[in-house]
Amino acid sequence: MDTLKNKVAVITGGASGIGLASAKLFVEQGANVIVTGRRPDAVKAAVADIGPRAFGIVGDVADPGHHEAVVDAVRERFGGLDVYMANAGINTITPSPLVSEDEYDAQFAVNTRGVFFGVQKVEPLLRDGGAIILTGSIAAGKALDGHAAYAGSKAALGAFARVWAIELRERRIRVNLLSPGPTDTAILEKLGVPPEQRPAFEAGMAARIPLGRMARPDETAKAALFLASDASSFITGIDLKVDGGMTLL
């Protein structure tokens, strides 16, 4: 239970879903974790759920000033950072002819701009030998109806990871992409899947996944832990798909 003993990790979008599951697992493995999110009530609840080695910062990753506040808080409390997981993201499923400028801009602001400037701001705080994890999506490489804007915003992260893996090699900071497939999180409701339609939705997803079901958040969190820990000490610049084989079909 000490894979990340005494490490310090920041997880953006850590108040729910994959981010929250990762935060819980990191703390179980000995880390101190800072979670960020846009909703104060959700961040407060997440910190209470994770436990005493967690604290939260409210803010929008699309705002560079938020990342500066995160850096200041981490420096003051811990002095440095070992793991940065750029996990915050949004998705709306809309056919391309119907995507509005506001919808397009919102997805790129959070999913792309937020990741780029988050890493830019925290990189000086990262200790040598640290790890950066970017939460992407299999949509970046697998064509899914209504996902063009989202897929484009996530595809950029693969390029970021590869370039940063080279740029940060002298400091032995590893940069990897984590690309989940369909995952059973609250985002399904945000995408407009009502509770009464969940069984049919899940059955439809299962039929498209070789392992026959959607992922649980804790399964993706375990992959994040791998990339954050010394278990992946000779791995950088990869795209780790946690999709039950969906991209094979």
> Could you list the active site residues?
150
CA distance 221 to 87: 11
Q: Residue 34: exposed, middle, or buried by beta-carbon count in 10 A (0-12, 13-18, 19+)?
A: buried
**Considering Cα of 188, then 54, then 10, then 32, what sign does the dihedral take?**
negative
CA distance 71 to 81: 9
Q: How far is CA 187 from the centre of its chain?
A: 13
Based on its alpha-carbon atoms, the radius of gyration of the chain, rounded to whole angstroms, reads 17
CA distance 106 to 57: 21
